[in-house]
Structure 1
Amino acid sequence: MSLECYSTAGVALGERAAYWSAVISDTYFPLHLSYRDETRFDGRVERRMLGPVSLSRLRTEAAQYERFTDQIRTGEAGHYLVTIPCSTPVQFHQLGRTVTCGMGGFLLERGDEPYRFSYDARNDLFVMKVSREALSARVYQPDRFCASVFDGRDGLGGLFAETVRRAHAMAADLVAGDILGRQLIELLALSLDRQADCSESVPSVTRAAHLLRAQKAIRQHLSDPDLSPETVAAACGISKRYLHELFNETGTTVAQYIRVCRLHAARDMLQMPGQQRLSTIAYHFGFCDQAQFSRQFRELFGQSPRAYRDALHGGGKPN
């Protein structure tokens, strides 16, 4: 996807603060900004959309960004930001916790909760924006990781941070960008889960492990028409009531998670070259018929399966 660039370089000094506030609001969400010297503030942001995530790079003078309660609209879709500072440490406060994240680390911020974020000198930052729904589908209770610093140098965290940097610089077409964006979410989820393995209490880790096992079992049996909470619970050796509790804590249900996974898998198949009929894809992923598949696909992705495939490959494919 193309790279969008915004800079204060061509903006009059007295108008830069207002201009930058508008850029930040459009890139992330409304924030209150403070500057060490707003008349001399200089900033540049480069943004690239990769399917379900937005990647941006900010290079600015010292600034403070605050998210206030009155800036959070009731019912708005929640998002998380993942920030990777590259030249100057950042200070972050949210959910009663205050941390400092330096170079080689990254931190998670919840966008629909108040917070304060700042750095005292010119900085270079990579920021990944991902929906609350997308991350919660891969990570048990992501909020527990907010205002925590993660290692972005080694292991899975290092792989995630390096992939963010490379992905931001990489031009990608619609299909490749979508796949890359979802892979970034997977890498982030693995990094957060590894942190949980190292630092969470035994009960929390056990519940998280059960949830991950259940999610994996679902993704491995999407083509099974009999896939249900009962079969998932049996495969994981847990009760159906406990399974429902695990998913309810993530803000969804077992049935909803199965449906969304099936639709994502069907969308992946639509991206592949070939002549698969829509009815064949629908039945392969456990939908009762093509009409049900098309209706639910439109509800989730905003367009029919046929329109989605035609936009990628052109018309003329079988129905």
Structure 2
Amino acid sequence: MAYWSLDALPAKERFPFWREVLCQAFTPLSAELDGRRGDEPSGWVRSARLAESNGAEIASRTQVITHGRSEIGRTDEHFLFVNVVLEGRCVVEQDGRRAAIPAGGFSVVDTTREYRQHYIEDPGHRRWRVLSYRLPRTRVLGQLHDPGSVTATLQTGERTGASAVALSTMLGVWRNAERLDPTASLAAETAVHAVVVAALDNVARRTASWDRAQVDGALRAEIERHVQRNLRDGDLSAAATAQRFAISLRKLHALYEEGEQSYARMVMLKRLEACASDLRAGIPGTLGDLAKRWGFSDLSHLNRAFRKQYGTLPSEYRVSSVGWD
């Protein structure tokens, strides 16, 4: 687990380090200390990675953190931050909404748009402390009825309900993050995504304006990026992909029912496109190697699928593309 602290730095270097290093570590942010206070800045960050997500526990003094136009322009990837307030409180603003988040509550901000968070320290501990999960944006929003309705809203950790389950899951995963092997880390990440979606969907369902086609399209796009990234080494069975995105098999197949191709056909086309690309590029190796590299059971399987798609065998395609057999 990575750890950064201001306490070992000279007082005059602490806040510049916080602003220029720590506030850029997860997504570009701008921080300002509360001008009414004369206390020297202090704080620390612990960070741990799950499979494709990141968790961080952060503590500091009262301050305002903003993600404005300048910061958006310097953001290479877009995420949702799910911020659980552990000590102190936070006033969060985004999309015209403003919510006060007490200790034990959590909220979400979207890095594609401007937001403002005013973290206010607990007087007894003289700090605020938050657990922040950085989640892939489209993977979460693609499963919500109204993605635009969930930012800057209070999710409470009441004793029952989806928010309570989400809160206890996020805390439990974080407490054990250092001890998870890759398989357990992936399972924990999937659980966090699923419970966050369930909690946020309670908010999203309160609104009547949502575009199912747009939501499903965003989820399909994220699934297809996952498939593309894992063509060579990943388990791309329908069951594994549904589990990866915390959706049912029925939901996965329904995403493709109204399109031109099924989920299985989409995966097959991506494998064939990868083979054709290698053949055009003249990648050395046998056609059997090519079949194995891109997930075909054997060369006969590749030959059948390739001829059906391209009207020619891979060997013929290679000759016509690069002039050698």
Q: Which residue of 2 aligns with 1:222?
A: none
Question: CA-to-partner distance for each residue in 1:159-214, whole Å, 9 max, x for gaps?
Answer: 111111121121212232123112211110011112334x32xx43xx5xxxxxxx
- Which residue of structure 1 aligns with residue 204 of structure 2? 196
Deviation at 1:80, TM superposition (A): 1.2
Asked whether the equivalents of residues 91 and 100 of structure 2 are also in contact (C-alpha less than 8 Å), the reply is yes
Deviation at 1:107, TM superposition (A): 0.7
**Amino acid in structure 1 at the alignment position of 2:181:** D
SS in 2 for 1:76: coil
Partner of 1:218: none
Residue equivalent to 2:244: none
By how many angstroms is 1:149 displaced?
0.5
SS in 2 for 1:288: helix
For structure 1, which segment, 75-84 or 119-128, has the greater mean C-alpha deviation from structure 2 after superposition?
A: 75-84
How far does residue 155 in structure 1 lie from its aligned partner after superposition? Answer: 1.8
- How many Å separate the matches in 2 of 1:141 and 1:29? 24
Aligned to 1:6: 4
Query: After the TM superposition, which residues 72-91 of structure 1 pair with which residues of structure 2 at under 5 Å, given as runs?
Result: 72-73=72-73, 76-91=76-91
Q: Which amino acid aligns with 1:6?
A: W
The answer to whether the aligner puts 1:247 opposite 2:245 as a matched pair is no
Which is higher, the Rg of structure 1 or of structure 2?
2
* AA matched with 2:135: V
CA distance in structure 2 between the aligned counterparts of 1:80 and 1:305, rounded to whole angstroms: 38
2:173 is matched with which residue? 167
TM-score after normalising by structure 1: 0.66
RMSD: 3.6
Pairing partner for 1:180 from 188, 193, 201: 188
In structure 2, the CA distance between the partners of 1:195 and 1:15, relative to structure 1 (3 Å rule), is: same
Structure 1 distance, partners of 2:138, 2:184, is 21
Q: How many residues align?
A: 248
1:127 positional shift: 0.7
| Alignment match, 2:108 | 108
- Cα gap change, 1:33/1:308 in structure 2, threshold over 3 Å: closer, same or farther? farther
Task: Answer whether contact 1:55 1:164 (CA < 8 A) is retained.
Answer: no
The verdict on how the C-alpha distance between 1:19 and 1:250 changes in structure 2, with shifts beyond 3 A counting, is farther
Structure 2 counterparts to residues 205-220 of structure 1, below 5 A: none
1:248-304 deviations in Å (ceiling 9; x for gaps): 3566385x466457669983469x9xxxxxxxxxx99444378438679xxxxxxx9
Structure 1 residues 260 and 80: CA distance shift in structure 2, 3 A:
same
In 1, distance between residues paired with 2:149 and 2:46? 29
Query: What's the CA shift for 1:67?
Result: 1.4
Match of 2:272 in 1: 292
Correspondence for 2:64: 64
Change (3 A) 1:44 1:19: same
**Alpha-carbon shift at residue 55 of structure 1 (Å):** 0.8
Q: Evaluate the alpha carbon distance shift between residue 306 and residue 139 of structure 1 in structure 2; reply closer, same or farther with a 3 A threshold.
A: farther
Change (3 A) 1:97 1:54: same
Which structure 2 segments of 5+ residues have no match?
A: 122-126, 241-261, 277-289, 296-325
Distance, in Å, in 2 between the alignment partners of 1:306 and 1:179 is 28
Q: TM-score, with normalisation over the residues of structure 2?
A: 0.65
Is 1:16–1:38's contact at 8 Å kept on the other side of the alignment?
A: no
3-state SS of 1:252 partner: helix
Partner of 1:49: 49
Q: Which residue of 2 aligns with 1:240?
A: none
Aligned AA for 2:78?
A: G
**Counterparts of 2:51 and 2:150 in 1: how far apart (Å)?**
24
In the superposition, relative to structure 1, how do residues 268 and 143 fare at CA in structure 2: closer, same or farther (>3 Å)?
farther
1:184 to 1:38, Cα distance in 2 relative to 1, 3 A = farther
Q: Which residue of 2 aligns with 1:151?
A: 156
Q: 1:18 is matched with which residue?
A: 16
Q: Contact 1:14/1:39 (CA < 8 Å) preserved in 2?
A: no
1:138–1:186 CA contact under 8 A, matched in 2: no
Change (3 A) 1:257 1:68: closer
Secondary structure, counterpart of 2:180 in structure 1: coil
Look up the SS of the partner of 2:12 in the other structure.
helix
* Partner-residue secondary structure (3-state), 2:172: helix
Q: Distance in 2 between matches of 1:73 and 1:186?
A: 30
